[in-house]
Amino acid sequence: MINEKIIVALDTDSVEQARTIITVLGEKGIFYKVGISLFTKAGPDFIKEIVGMGKKVFLDMKFFDIPNSMLLASIAGAELGVEIINYHCLAGEKPLKEVKDLLTEYCSKKSIKLPYLIGVTVLTSVENEGNMKDVVLRMCHIAKNAGLDGVVCSTMELNAIKEQYGIEFKTVVPGIRMPENQMDDQKRSGTPFSAFTQGADYIVVGRPIIKAVNPRNALENIIADAEKALV
């Protein structure tokens, strides 16, 4: 089901707006991203609320700290039932591997589902420069060797990542825009169709949905564009 691969970014500091978006999207919205702005405002209780609705959550906190701090935060996320947790690849291969191994052990002992652990490469708001693909691939190398499940990347690096690391290495692609959408601060963007055609496992869409006059209609248009890639 393509809806499960489209993550709606609740990039707002308003719990009321986030709750309204989830309600309006209804059964069409299955997967939601909670980032630093909403988490700082709402905290873990709102994540529990979303999970309690039967929805999936991508905890987008981009952890970058000493291993023990990242591990404790990851354990808290896993206990909340989130589907994806991410980390800056710049945290380093060894620290990230330690977090992955210890979190895996903890989840196994507690019979908790282990979330996908994803490395952040280069933000899609960063301009595409000549060596950008090489930089992203170096970050992928760190994530892969640390045992992470995949990376956050732009559509521009998808082919190279899948070619080098295989289809099992997950790719989460933000900065998604339809042709009629404003680019906002996104510099390395792509459409749902282009992302899935090139092998994206998940796409993340925020403002084109949550700022739309009709968010449900906006999501339906994104779903329709994504489904073209499955034909």
Q: pLDDT averaged over the chain? A: 92
Catalytic residues: 62
The pLDDT tens digits for 34-86 are: 999 999 999 999 999 999 999 999 999 999 999 999 999 999 999 999 999 99
Nearest to 192, CA basis, from 182, 207, 177, 181: 177
For position 230, what pLDDT does the model report? 82
Contact 192, 181 (CB under 8 A): no
Separation of alpha carbons 225 and 185, rounded Å: 22
For position 124, what pLDDT does the model report? 57
Query: Around 202, how many Cα atoms within 13 Å sit in the side-chain half-sphere?
Result: 29
- List of E strands, 56-96: 56-63, 84-88
Give the residue extent of every domain in the chain: 2-230
Separation of alpha carbons 227 and 229, rounded Å: 5
Q: What is the CATH number of domain 2-230?
A: 3.20.20.70
Average confidence (pLDDT) over 152-164? 93
